[in-house]
Amino acid sequence: MKKSRIKDISLAKEGALKIDWAEAHMPVLMKLRQKFSGEKPFKNWRIAACLHITKETAVLVRTLAAGGAQIAITACNPLSTQDDIAASLALEGFYVYGWRGLNNNEYYENIEITLDLKPDITIDDACDLIFTAHTKRQELLPNIKGGCEETTSGVKRLKIMEGEGVLKYPVIAVNSARTKHLFDNRYGTGQSSFDGILRATNILIAGKTVVVVGYGWCGRGISARAKGFGANVVITEVEPIAALEARMDGFMVMPIFEAAKIGDIFVTATGNKYVIAEEHFKLMKTGAILANAGHFNIEIDVISLEKLSRKKRTIRPNCVEYTLAHGKRLYLLSEGRLVNLSSAEGHPSEVMDMSFSTQALASLFIVRNHKDLKPGVYEFSKEDEQKIALLKLEAMGIKIDSLTSVQKKYLSSWQEGTR
């Protein structure tokens, strides 16, 4: 294996402090680490991960390593790597490939180097590692026992691969676990997107019109937080049920052509392409701020924005002003890449505790069950969801009730009705 490719190893000390901080806020994953340390379930297993290189990811990496795994990690986004964390992991002896601001060639080069580990398990955030293994590195496929996928955009790609019969190994859709999307996508994205928007702009949200494009779990979280800040929240949707839900959650719902005219801040969270495009930029008010919370940088049509603009200048880190015809100014955050990880630090540790505990148990599931699994996309175990939720409640000092024997009996019978 090639030694790590990172920005600056001298940042390791700073990174280590941040990882300590994350560990203090990830009690469930730390509990799993304790268990893995004793049992070594990943002994002789090689894991290649393509994830955001953050302090929380470092806690996952250390946890899998404590269970005996050999690990190589590469960045899953050009702008999300925290260089101090990458340095710290490299100093600890992990194979790390990533730095903030790498270009597209470097990005895929690093993925290929990571695959040189000849992994037994792949862990992805948006499927670029699996994609590369299935295209440029097919010789590795027979050795891969399974994979885990972290995010909605990745699960979408995997399901299409499965449908076309090209997916060559089993992959657990970690994103579909309730311990992931109900918390990470909603509360994680809800908070961290505003963290990113505020670090990049430091504007007041109260009194602004925030347009949230897409009302999936991320959109729901972003809208709830925008409302909490005192914004007037507008939702745009293409899916009728989601649109109705948004309306009954108390938000205005309208087509993007209408919303484009009134929005002060636009946040995309659809997982789809060009949901804000040239025709919308033309309708926007001067001063409008554009941010993307989806995984890929395709939701805002940045190419058209570049073409439309006459002048471009960086106002502050991660905030670029585009001047269009008639002097209209639009502000694009983080180049249209995911704003929470590019302008801030991603989701807080407490929420990643649940997401990465789900990842850790999904990896363990592959170790234990891979011989019985065919290529395809698998749901995360319901039993493990409950285990994670109970551990999280316990860590938060929250006790809940359990069913009485009368209630259990009632729930398993059909004879008792009106009385």
- Tell me the CB-side half-sphere exposure of residue 49, using CA atoms within 13 A: 26
**Shortest distance, CB of residue 341 to ligand ADE, whole angstroms?**
6
- Site pattern 119..158 for ligand ADE (x: CB under 6 A): ----------------------------------------
Q: Which residue is nearest to ligand ADE (CB)?
A: 346
Name the binding residues for substrate: 54, 125, 150, 180, 184
Count CB atoms within 10 A of the CB of residue 398.
9
Residue 213 is classified by DSSP as: E
Binding map of ligand ADE across residues 211-250, x = CB under 6 A, - = no contact:
----------------------------------------
What is the SS3 assignment for 250?
Answer: coil
Report if residue 353 touches ligand ADE, rule: CB under 6 A: no
State in angstroms the smallest separation of the CB of 395 from ligand ADE.
18
Q: Going residue by residue from 171 to 200, which x/- string records binding to ligand ADE, judged by CB under 6 A?
A: -----------------x------------
Annotated binding site for NAD(+): 185, 214-221, 237, 272, 293-295, 340, 347
Token couple for 334: 């983080």
Chosen residue from 6, 29, 30, 54 binding ligand ADE by CB under 6 A: 54
Beta carbons of 76 and 124 less than 8 angstroms apart: yes
Q: Are 148 and 124 in contact (CB under 8 A)?
A: yes
State the nearest-atom distance from the C-beta of 22 to ligand ADE, in Å.
Answer: 8
Find, among 244, 254, 193, the residue nearest to 222 by Cα.
193
Alpha helices in 25-103 (DSSP H): 27-39, 55-66, 83-91
Size of the site for ligand ADE (CB under 6 A): 10
10 Å CB burial of residue 154 (0-12, 13-18, 19+) is buried
Contact region with ligand ADE (CB under 6 A), list: 168-176, 316-324, 340-348, 410-418: 340-348
CB count, 10 Å around CB of 36? Answer: 22
Restricted to residues 10-29, the positions that interact with ligand ADE (CB under 6 A) are: none
Type of residue found at 195:
D
Annotated binding site: 54, 125, 150, 180, 184-185, 214-221, 237, 272, 293-295, 340, 347
Q: Which of 4, 57, 81, 191 binds ligand ADE (CB under 6 A)?
A: 57
Parallel, antiparallel or unpaired: strands 311-316 and 319-323: antiparallel
Contact pick of 18, 208, 280, 347 for ligand ADE (by CB under 6 A): 347
Q: Minimum Å distance from CB 408 to ligand ADE?
A: 38
Torsion angle (degrees, nearest 10) of CA 303, 5, 294, 137: 90
Min dist CB 351 to ligand ADE, Å, is 8
346 sits near ligand ADE (criterion: CB under 6 A)? yes
- The DSSP output letter for 380 is P
To ligand ADE, the closest distance from the beta carbon of 61 in angstroms equals 11
The least distance separating ligand ADE from the CB of residue 56, rounded to whole angstroms, comes to 4
Residue closest to 362 by CA, chosen among 42, 141, 80, 20: 42
Considering the complex, state which of residue 19 and residue 259 has its C-beta at the smaller distance from ligand ADE: 19
Pick between residue 57 and residue 268 the one whose CB is nearest to ligand ADE.
57
Q: Which residue has the tokens 């994205």?
A: 189
CA distances (Å), origin 48, targets 112, 113, 159, 236, 346: 10, 10, 21, 37, 21
Among 352, 361, 377, 391, binds ligand ADE (CB under 6 A): 352
Residues 33 and 327 sit within 8 Å (Cβ to Cβ): no
Q: Provide, rounded to whole angstroms, the least separation between the CB of residue 349 and ligand ADE.
A: 7
d(CA 357, CA 360): 5
- Binding site residues, ligand ADE, CB under 6 A: 51-52, 54, 56-57, 188, 341, 346-347, 352
